[in-house]
Each structure stands twice: as structure tokens, then as C-alpha cells.
Amino acid sequence: MVTQRREITHSELFWGFNQIALSGFGGVMAWARRAIVEEREWLSSEEFTTLFGLCQFMPGPNIVNLSVCIGARFQGASGAVVSLLGLLLAPFVIIIALGALYGRFGELPAIQAMLRGIAAVAAGLILAMGVRMAADLLKRPFLMIFSVAILVAVVFLHWPLVMVMFGLAPFSMWVAARRYCSAP
């Protein structure tokens, strides 16, 4: 269910996505959910999960797709561009500088140890976000059927993800539309 939200300005979109981008390198989706749902209340948890699902289906990085969709939702095409710039501008500058430093000092054992630690933190953040999003799925048990089917097909049967998506997406959309349209 889509709820009515206050109008989000271009400035709020830019600085909101800039804060998200600067909050976590290598995996900002956990920070994005927290900022968008819990702190700024731009979307409900269910709206975020639904939009995130759509963004995963689209080509490109999920967070980039999400920034464009949210920006477009609140400010149209200009909001999409502003959100995208907020997400990408500062990290672009920082990563260029870090790349130059890594080229010079990347072989040092301390740098290698630091990078391993950062990878562990990123994995934990992704796991935490997955658990929070799973709570939304538990509110609608029929959606769990599709989640389990995808998990089995990709992890255990080793089917290509694209084949699984295109195979299950039309059916899941049909089921969701029937349930949504028949809801009181």
C-alpha cells in the first residue's frame, strides 16, 4: 500500500543520497534502507522492500536504480538526476583519491588487513539488511513461496539467475496483482 508522504525537495534528495553514499563504502544498501525508511521516513518499510525488489530486477547497481526511482517519485526527472548526483559525486572524488593512494601503498600488510576487515563489516551489513527485509516478507507468507523457489533454483539447482527471474517474475507479478486487486 502506498502512503501519502510530504513533498521531498531537490536539496533533501541530493543531501540525503549524499549522506547514504558517504555512510558506507562497498555496500550502502543497509545504510540506504535505514536512512530512507527509519530516519527520513521517505518510504515505509514495505514500500522500500517493494521498490528494492523492482530495482534488483532492473539492470545496473541496485542503489543507483533506487536513487533514480526515489528521486523520480518525489521530483520527476530532475529529482532522479539530483538523487543520482547526490549518490555518485562525492564517492567519485573520494575513490579517485583512494585509488591513487592504493596504487602507491596497496602492498603494505596493514592496508591488506584493513581491507579484509572492511569486507567482513560489509558482509555483516548486507546480512542485517536481508534479515530486516525478510520481516516484510513474513507479513505476506505467499511471497515466501517465491523467495524459497528462487533460493532453491539458484543455490541448489544452479540455474542461471536471469532464467529464474524471467521464469518467475511474470508469475509472481500475476499473483501479486490478483492479491492486490482482490484486497478490500
Mean per-residue pLDDT of the chain: 86
16 pLDDT higher than 90: yes
> For residues 36 and 42, is the Cβ–Cβ distance under 8 A?
yes
The pLDDT of residue 81: 97
pTM for the predicted model, two decimal places: 0.61
Question: Given pLDDT bands bounded at 50, 70 and 90, which one contains residue 183?
Answer: low
Residues 26 and 97 in one domain: yes
Confidence tier at 93 by pLDDT (50, 70, 90): very high
Identify the domain boundary among 61, 82, 105: 105
Q: Which of 88, 105, 122 is the last residue of a domain?
A: 105
Same domain, 7 and 49: yes
Q: Are residues 28 and 116 in the same domain?
A: no
pLDDT tens-digit readout, 120-144: 887 888 888 788 877 777 777 777 7
Residues 148 and 174 in one domain: yes
Residue 152: domain span: 141-183
Number of independent structural domains in the chain: 3
Distance CA 15, CA 86 (A): 6
24 φ/ψ angles, rounded to the nearest 5 degrees: -160, 120
pLDDT (average), residues 101-107: 87
Same domain, 91 and 163: no
CA separation, residue 130 to residues 52, 125, 133, 135, 136 (Å): 11, 9, 5, 9, 10
The span from the CA of 63 to the CA of 52, in Å, is 8
* 154 lies in the same domain as 101: no
Do 17 and 85 sit in the same domain of this protein? yes
26, 88: one domain: yes
Query: Rounded to whole angstroms, how far apart are CA atoms 76 and 169?
Result: 27
- The residue-averaged pLDDT of 39-68 equals 90
| Helix, strand, coil abundance in the chain, percent, nearest 5 | 80, 0, 20
Q: Are residues 97 and 117 in the same domain?
A: no
Do 2 and 79 lie in one domain? The reply is yes
> Is 2 in contact with 47 (CB distance < 8 Å)?
yes
Domain co-membership, 60 together with 24 = yes
Range with the poorest average pLDDT among 7-11, 20-24, 84-88, 92-96 = 20-24
Answer yes or no: do 124 and 146 share one domain. Answer: no
